[in-house]
Amino acid sequence: MRKAARPSPPEPIATARAARPARARVAAAPSATAAKPSSPPPQGPGVREFLAFCRIEAGLAKATIEAYARDLRDLWHFLGERGIADPGVVTMTHVTEHIQHLSREREMEPTSIARHLAALRVYFRWMHAERKIAKDPARLIDRPTKWKRVPGTLSIGQMRKLVEAPNPETCGTLWLRDRCMLELMYAGGLRASEVGALKINDFNETLGSLVVLGKGSKQRVVPVGLPAIQWTQRYLRDLRPELARFPDGRDQHRLLLSFSGRPLERVAVWQLVKKYAAMAGLQDVHPHTLRHSFATHLVVGGANLRVVQEFLGHANIATTQIYTHVDRERLREVIWQFHPREAVSRAEATRRAKPKAG
């Protein structure tokens, strides 16, 4: 009887075993969704190693590496749909078709396409240097011509309205932090990521300067004016100790903190600038507008272009030269004042214009 009784349980056991994976799958589905990263991991041959090279050896900024990862993910998705998985068989035609796909079907802006192509050129150049491919398919592809757009700037009066927009009556307890943020961005020409990355020790109130960590992890020292110094001192004295009330080190010694005591992120800086621009009655204002206004007002005031280049952290002065558009009249006056032939010509013209005596 025992031998006959033993085979009876297999059916429920087998049913239970078969049901377990189904229950596990149902239970695991929400957790898998919750654990899903905000952006999928980079895909494509050599992409992971290439991004590590960009981060460790090239020292590129985090935002640049993330952009490269997205661009290469788009490339290999495009190639994968055409059955191409080996980078050794990718040709210039494939790369050109991908760029045309971005322009015609996805309707990307020319600036985005130019950055996309730059990522592909660097990637395939690295693959060729590492002998992972025999030929560089993107070597002969020319960069698209980009129109240099005049950056949008604010007048001195508009800039004053923007930095004075935060106030305790309408903005709550964080108005002091926001006033400090806007003052520092305008006083030092800081990017949104740079002002959020500032640490307490980066602010030297004695020298009136900031140590700014820019693109490519390059540091620069930027002097700031008295208003920015005073508002930063007031924020550090009256508000930041309250925001940094948590002892778990979540503040990471950052200068600007959120209400939860964590560092102020780049997206939050964008949102705050847009918010106060709307309160000041200004349109089409973003964090880079403060940076453009900073550089423009310096050039108008007579600052040397090389000095402005150092303040902005531009590697190439050609990037800074876009700000020379703002004061064509002053450039003309400089020519008239210092060019020998222009000075003689103006003196002669003045002499002739004087009425003859008698």
What is the set of active-site residues? 191, 215, 288, 291, 314, 323
- Structure-token pair, residue 256: 């600007």
Angle formed by the axes of helices 175-188 and 226-238, nearest 10°: 150
* Cα–Cα distance for residue pair 280/258, rounded to 1 Å: 22
On the CB side of 157, CA atoms within 13 Å amount to 1
* Cα–Cα distance for residue pair 123/25, rounded to 1 Å: 39
The DSSP result for 309-354, as a single string, is HHHHT-SSHHHHGGGGGGGHHHHHHHHHHH-HHHHHHHHHHHHHHS
**144: phi then psi, degrees, rounded to nearest 5:** -70, 145
Cα-Cα-Cα-Cα dihedral sign, residues 48, 52, 55, 57: negative
First-last CA distance in the chain: 147
* Cα–Cα distance for residue pair 61/315, rounded to 1 Å: 14
* Cα–Cα distance for residue pair 298/308, rounded to 1 Å: 7
Q: Running DSSP on this structure, what letter comes out for residue 208? A: T
* Cα–Cα distance for residue pair 165/120, rounded to 1 Å: 43
**Residue 17, helix vs strand vs coil:** helix
Task: Determine how many CB atoms are found less than 10 A away from the CB of residue 286.
Answer: 15
Q: Running DSSP on this structure, what letter comes out for residue 173? A: G
Q: Which of 160, 148, 146, 111 is nearest to 293 (CA)?
A: 160
Q: Which residues pair with 254 in a beta bridge?
A: 199
Q: Which of 69, 179, 184, 47 is nearest to 116 (CA)?
A: 69
Count Cβ neighbours within 10 Å for each residue of 83-112 and write b for 16 or more, e otherwise: eeeebeebeeebbeebbeebbeeeebeeee
- Structure-token pair, residue 70: 């997205």
